[in-house]
Amino acid sequence: MSHESPPRIDLLDLKLLPAWLKEPSGGKRFEHYTAEEEAERPRERGKRATPKGFASRQPSFRRPIRKGAEGRQQRRRDHPSRGRKDDHRNRETGKPLAPPPDVAIRFLPRSPVLDSIVEQIKSGAVGYSLFHLARLFLEKPERYEVRLTAKPDSPLYQLGENGAVSVNRQFLEENGFRFAQQDFYKIEITEGEPIKGNFSSVARDRLSGTLLGPTNYHTYQPRLRTLYEQRFSRRMSFSDYQRQIEIVNDPELIERWKKETQRVTTYTTLGEETPAMFSSTTEAERHFKANYLPGFVRDIEEVSMGGVASRHLSDRLLHRAIEEAWVRENRSPSNLMQELAGRFRQAGLHVFRHRRGMLFVSPLRPQPFIHEQTGVSELVNAIVKTLAENPGIPRKDLAGKLIVDLTPEEAEPRKMALASDLHWLISAGHVIEFNDGSLDLPRAKVKPVEAAVSAAGNEGTIPSLESAVDTAAAPPPK
């Protein structure tokens, strides 16, 4: 639906720390997720992150606070908790709002942004946290897409092939002309005849400053409704919006309204051999509903849209459902992490688990270093031993531990050798370098059959090969 150009993500600006270095001690742990989620949760419970672009459903306008008993009653009415409670009711009728649509919502990375990320990861040799990369995609709507999948009890409808999407067919039929008029008509604005008559006042919208004309003028009601639907329908009810209309008696404003009303909007059909022209919006909309609307609204099973478009949907229920899904996904982006892991593997990158089972991605495959292998220098073994004793140590601190008690003449070749051996260990996958500069060893893997035989031997029995393989295939103990 949307063709907004995605921005490029520069991973050099991403300051990620391995999660075990900034994980708070204690706290609740979840088996289905990693400690990174706990570290990223807001400290103040009960506060929910609201994405930019999603309209806040809190009341947008407050009356001046009065003093005394009347003021106390007003403060109780205007309390935020009151606003959240009323949010579940229609502000015009007072009836409960319809429940959120039962539509499957998935957040996917934009392909151009993902390609840029893959290119940057392949250009280096460092590992990145999948949790933080998923958060990075969700941070801006230009970086992700939203995929909606209909369910049997909650169908989806769309105008044409790339038009507006809604869970309410009647909503699209009633607003189809407003959404798609530019696809069917050539719209031109010309100067018409001066308005005749004497007018003592005009109505003005306080929020936008738009002049709507005298309340008894024939264009007042259509302009009022159109302005509300186009700009304020997601923020307030129509009755609340009507309270923002004021009557002004300024002669200059009356003259300005007359000049604005002189402009005549014409609609000329685009797809007909003999174009038809309509001099009013009402006539053009009547023609649209009679000739184009039948069959224009179609049932769909699945649709994808850009993140920016998903935050400007006219369907309130669908807009709210996407907003709440974004909040859940941003809090625990397990679905997006799974999608990124699959895409990264297809691109030839390696996704692996490290401390506490957290997922990372790297262009190199981590491989534990075997100390018994021959042909390696003493410094290589010293690097591996130091990292085993100091997981997550930065490069500078590693050099400080291995280059000690040396003269300047001896220290320089030692630094060169350390840099060379460390580069070899990283390129071979024996040492993982994270993008913040910290270093660590890959998780050691025990040979499955040997581990099963050893465990069984301690109990005085020798298992069969089949039982040993079954033991190795079992999930590791938590």
- Quick one: pLDDT at residue 61? 33
Distance of CA 346 to CAs 114, 236, 281, 357, Å? 12, 46, 52, 22
Domains in the chain, ordered, with CATH? 11-46+58-150+303-346 (no CATH), 364-440 (1.10.10)
- Quick one: pLDDT at residue 97? 58
Instruction: Please give the structure tokens belonging to residue 7.
Output: 């921005």
Q: Does residue 338 contact residue 400 with C-beta atoms inside 8 Å?
A: no
Q: In which residue are the tokens 């260990």 written?
A: 425
- What pTM, to 2 d.p., does this model score? 0.66
Instruction: Please give the structure tokens belonging to residue 251.
Output: 């002669």
- Quick one: pLDDT at residue 270? 92
SS (H, E, C) the chain: CCCCCCCCCCHHHCCCCCHHHHCCCCCCCCCCCCHHHHHHCCCCCCCCCCCCCCCCCCCCCCCCCCCHHHHHHHHHHCCHHHHHHHCCECCCCCCECCCCCCCEEEEEECHHHHHHHHHHHHCCCEEEEHHHHHHHHHHCHHHEEEEEECECCECEEEECCCCCEECCHHHHHHHHHHHHHHHHEEEEEEECCCCCCCCCCEEEECCCCCEEECCCCCCHHHHHHHHHHHHHCCCCCHHHHHCCEEEECCHHHHHHHHHHHCEEEEEEECCCCCCCEECCHHHHHHHHHHHCCCCCEEEECEEEEEHHHHCCCCCHHHHHHHHHHHHHHHHCCHHHHHHHHHHHHHCCCEEEECHHHCEEEECCCCCCCCCCCCCCCHHHHHHHHHHHHCCCEEHHHHHHHHCCCCCHHHHHHHHHHHHHHHHHHHHCCCCEEECCCEEECCCCCCCHHHHHHHHHHHCCCCCCHHHHHHHHHCCCCC
Q: Does residue 434 contact residue 131 with C-beta atoms inside 8 Å?
A: no
- Quick one: pLDDT at residue 106? 96
Q: How far apart are CA 135 and CA 53, in angstroms?
A: 17
Q: Does residue 357 contact residue 443 with C-beta atoms inside 8 Å?
A: no
Q: In which residue ranges of the chain is pLDDT below 70?
A: 1-98, 234, 371-375, 445-478
- Model confidence over 112-155: pLDDT tens digits? 999 999 999 999 899 999 999 999 999 999 999 999 999 888 89
Q: How far apart are CA 280 and CA 89, in angstroms?
A: 36
- Quick one: pLDDT at residue 261? 80
- Quick one: pLDDT at residue 101? 84
- Model confidence over 373-422: pLDDT tens digits? 556 778 888 898 999 899 989 988 988 888 887 788 888 888 898 899 89
- Quick one: pLDDT at residue 371? 63
- Quick one: pLDDT at residue 50? 53
